[in-house]
Amino acid sequence: MRESGVGSQGVNVIRSFEVSMSSKLLRIALLATVAAGTPALTQCTAQKPPPGPAPRSPAPESLKGVLRVDTVARGLEHPWGVAVLPDGRLLVTERSGRVRIVEQDGRLSKPLGGVPKVLAEGHGGLLDIALDPRFSDNPLVYLSYAEPGEDGLAGTAVARGRLGASGLENVRVIYRQQPKVKGSNHFGSRLVFARDGALFVTQGDRFDYRDQAQNLASGLGKIVRINSDGSVPRDNPFAGQTDARPEIWSYGHRNVQAAALHPETGQLWTVEHGARGGDELNHPEAGKNYGWPIITYGIDYSGAKIGEGSVKPGLEQPVYYWDPVIAPSGMVFYTGDAFPDWKGSVLIGSMQPGRLVRLTLQDGKVAREERYLGGLGKRIRDVQQGLKGELYLLTDEDEGQVLRVTPAAP
């Protein structure tokens, strides 16, 4: 981001010079430099969220007549994640534990073999899917899922395998959230590859264990960063510390089910579920604490207060928050040509009230929010961009669908 012109800091600089300098020529030179548009800030990736209360969504009404929606495929059982193959076909996960290929004509393949066993209860099951950045060379596919353990325990896990003729081959687990705990809620999880090839795994606090989001010895309520083989990058913020898990990237998260990499800055951006109110847009940075459950813009489902309020020194503020919530799931930065006015926008799936949410960013802040597809009445679980700039949405239901979204005819 580059910001030009004179902000309040620049004005203060000018005033101090005017008081302390008697030379008229120096004052003229300074003012001429400012008038020429000398940058007041240096190059940066994103503005730091303000220390005070974050901006709140105005909850705009859904726009009509903007988008065309076509059904590509039907009959998927709670589809959860979608990845676009280099040939335009789609890989889709079903929460019950299946992966299918969706042909370009909408035909569904038989369930692929090699998928790990999942805990398909509550929020659990087979979750996200991602292709290796070098997929054309190594055909590796990554899955996040709720992994069952002994004595009714479970936790988020990540496995990878090669996509072969009949399914996934040479599958192995490369990450397991620790500790495994009881319960079937708040597993996260989205998979996002960074530019350096590291893999971000978003997770949840497992619902009944919210306080562990602040415990660096626990993997609950954390975003982790691992190498593609499951090893831990040496430059992770807590690597080498005896009192923290080395895979942790950021902490203080409730349940992150939307994540994407900014196409220009390479920063990770996420949207996480609040409780009753308080869904958050963040760009999690290394080693930082995003506050849950000490601070939040939501309240408990019982109506009780959570934590200490919405602002506390040393804890990060969100870039933006929603109250009422949008129940966010799935996210992409749009870079295609089908919607030229949308380039750079953040697109987010909403499960409640069920929308496609578009955010326009300016200088690292939300400048505008628009909502679409309110008339569908569907829970949007994931959103991804196709090869020609079209969008693919998944609907979260027993008879789930893959939808193709393009601009409406003028």
Sign of CA dihedral 96, 102, 105, 107: negative
- Residues 321, 274: contact at Cβ < 8 Å? yes
User: Residue 98 and residue 26: Cα distance in Å, rounded?
Assistant: 72
Tokens for 49, please give them: 């969220």
Q: How many helices and strands (H and E) does the chain possess?
A: 2, 25
Give the torsion through C-alpha atoms of 245, 249, 253, 256, to 10 deg.
-120
| Among 382, 369, 390, 379, CA closest to 61 | 369
Task: Count other C-beta atoms under 10 Å from residue 122's C-beta.
Answer: 14
Q: Which of 78, 123, 186, 273 is catalytic?
A: 186
User: Residue 141 and residue 171: Cα distance in Å, rounded?
Assistant: 9
User: Residue 203 and residue 272: Cα distance in Å, rounded?
Assistant: 10
Tokens for 3, please give them: 């910001």
Residue 223 CA, chain-centre distance (Å), reads 10
Confirm whether 186 is a catalytic residue.
yes
Q: Helices 8-20 and 24-35 meet at what angle, rounded to 10?
A: 170
| Residue 168 backbone class (left: φ over 0; alpha: ψ -120 to 50; beta: rest) | beta
3-state secondary structure of 344: coil
User: Residue 31 and residue 383: Cα distance in Å, rounded?
Assistant: 49
Q: Return the active site residues.
A: 186
